């Protein structure tokens, strides 16, 4: 007998990331090939015709796992009884903007959706915030969803940065993606993030080697590699005149897949979660850490005991400072908004 359907909410469902995302979810790439789904698709009323188009296409995909697809433009209705929520709906940045320039426009969405989560969602709901600035939006969402929804159930996506870092290392070391594990993205999904491979392993010639040894180019690892990953989003916007969508959707799927099924043995992934004080990051800050996830409890743990040298500490301090500034600005914007 197949399990009961999971109710999965996707916001911004008429937008470009979701055009890739909803098919991957509905076809079983996230929750498995035996897990039926009810997909709730939220967008704003102005987008309801486009949303209907997405629904028609999903229906036409004839996907056996998709038991229901429910388009909605009412936030309260959207959040009712959801098991998982992909919060993508928000304004994307354009060329020349930083992600934090979106804060004033987007943070109110996450205040309102935090409240909708508290009002309607299951207390076990797991949430990924994709909309930028993702860490700060997730912080605000968690604040307004508490105490009904534990802040531990709310996260922001840095998996795209994690995947970008993995791909860069694989290319430089001349191996494939599966041969690289345990890169880390620390901090904010922004230009201050710290992609760190000090603890990463590369499988080269049949044995696991430290990434630094496998790459054999410390100057590149401490310079160009970091800046390529930090700036990748902006470079894609300059090339496409639109922000990354296919790779963002894939990363959101990876993030929730690993939260649902757990991380493999001796493997961690990067996720922005409310800090528990690890590595000196003040409690509650939505900071990207290396985490492992237990499949049975679906609970994450920040990987402990990794050495942080002076170079790394400087990077952690810079991204923390930016997150604290964004948090303060977001709190002010929320106080001023009467949503
Ligand atoms: N964390 C990450 O790694 C990444 C984050 N992003 C961010 O994801 C967000 C979405 O990007 P795209 O899909 O390219 O944008 P898009 O503009 O193509 O789609 C956004 C959709 O959200 C909808 N929307 C706006 N307000 C809403 C609300 N209150 N409730 C529900 N839906 C709402 C819009 O009507 C639109 O259909 C942007 O903020 C972008 O910067 C993009 C790539 C990577
Ligand atoms: O850069 C952007 O605005 C979109 C994004 O977050 C990314 O591609 O990492």
Neighbour tally for 284: CB within 10 Å: 15
Q: Whose CA is nearest to atom 8 of ligand 2?
A: 233
pLDDT digits (tens, 9 = 90+) for 236-266: 999 999 999 999 999 999 999 999 999 999 9
| Burial of 22 from C-beta contacts in 10 A (0-12 / 13-18 / 19+) | buried
Residue 6 tokens, joined: 């999971």
Annotated binding site for NAD(+): 43, 106, 130-132
- The CA 15 to ligand 1 mean position distance, Å, reads 6
67 part of the active site? no
Question: Contact 194/165 with Cβ under 8 angstroms?
Answer: no
| Whole-angstrom distance, CA of residue 128 vs CA of residue 21 | 13
Mean pLDDT, rounded, for 83-109: 93
pLDDT digits (tens, 9 = 90+) for 114-131: 999 999 999 999 999 999
ipTM of the complex: 0.99
In the predicted model, is pLDDT for residue 140 greater than 90? Answer: yes
Quote the DSSP letter at residue 299.
E
Question: Contact 25/56 with Cβ under 8 angstroms?
Answer: no
Give 100's pLDDT tier (boundaries 50, 70, 90). Answer: confident
Around ligand 1, the residues with Cβ closer than 6 Å are: 11-12, 14-17, 42-44, 47, 88-93, 109, 130-132, 134, 157, 160, 189, 243-245, 248
Q: Which of 12, 82, 96, 94 is nearest to 47 (CA)?
A: 12
In the predicted model, is pLDDT for residue 329 greater than 80? Answer: yes
In the predicted model, is pLDDT for residue 337 greater than 90? Answer: no
Q: Which of 99, 112, 53 is nearest to 323 (CA)?
A: 99
- The CA 244 to ligand 1 mean position distance, Å, reads 11
What pLDDT, on a 0 to 100 scale, did the predictor assign at position 205? 84
Around ligand 2, the residues with Cβ closer than 6 Å are: 92-93, 99, 132, 160, 233-234, 236-237, 243-244
Q: What is the mean pLDDT of the chain?
A: 97
Q: Which of 139, 124, 102 is nearest to 288 (CA)?
A: 139
Q: Whose CA is nearest to atom 7 of ligand 2?
A: 233
| Whole-angstrom distance, CA of residue 257 vs CA of residue 194 | 24
Residue of 67, 162, 189, 257 marked catalytic: 189
């Amino acid at each position: 007998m197949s399990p009961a359907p999971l109710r999965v909410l996707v916001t911004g469902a008429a937008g470009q990331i979701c055009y890739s995302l909803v098919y991957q979810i509905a076809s079983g790439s996230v929750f498995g090939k035996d897990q039926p789904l009810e997909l709730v698709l939220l967008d704003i009323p102005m987008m309801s015709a486009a949303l209907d188009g997405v629904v028609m296409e999903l229906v036409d995909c004839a996907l056996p796992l998709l038991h229901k697809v429910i388009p909605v433009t009412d936030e309260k209705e959207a959040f009712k009884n959801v098991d998982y929520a992909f919060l993508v709906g928000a304004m994307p940045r354009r060329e020349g903007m930083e992600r934090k320039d979106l804060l004033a426009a987007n943070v109110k969405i996450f205040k309102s959706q935090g409240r909708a989560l508290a009002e309607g969602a299951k207390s076990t709901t797991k949430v990924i915030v994709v909309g930028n600035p993702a860490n700060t939006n997730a912080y605000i969402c968690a604040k307004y969803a508490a105490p009904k929804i534990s802040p531990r159930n709310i996260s922001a996506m840095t998996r795209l940065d994690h995947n970008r870092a993995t791909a860069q290392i694989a290319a430089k070391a001349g191996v494939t993606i599966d041969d690289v594990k345990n890169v880390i993205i620390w901090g904010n999904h922004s230009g201050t993030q710290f992609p760190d491979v000090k603890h990463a392993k590369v499988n080269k010639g049949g044995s696991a080697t430290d990434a630094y040894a496998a790459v054999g180019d410390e100057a590149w690892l401490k310079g160009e590699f970091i800046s390529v990953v930090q700036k990748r989003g902006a470079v894609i916007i300059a090339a496409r005149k639109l922000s990354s969508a296919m790779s963002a959707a894939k990363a959101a799927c990876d993030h929730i897949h690993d939260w649902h099924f757990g991380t493999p043995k001796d493997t961690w992934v990067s996720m922005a979660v409310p800090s528990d004080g690890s590595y000196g990051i003040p409690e509650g800050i939505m900071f990207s850490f290396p985490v492992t996830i237990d499949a049975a409890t679906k609970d994450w743990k920040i990987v402990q005991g990794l050495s942080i040298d002076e170079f790394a500490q400087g990077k952690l301090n810079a991204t923390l400072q930016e997150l604290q500034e964004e948090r303060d600005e977001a709190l002010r914007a929320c106080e001023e908004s009467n949503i």
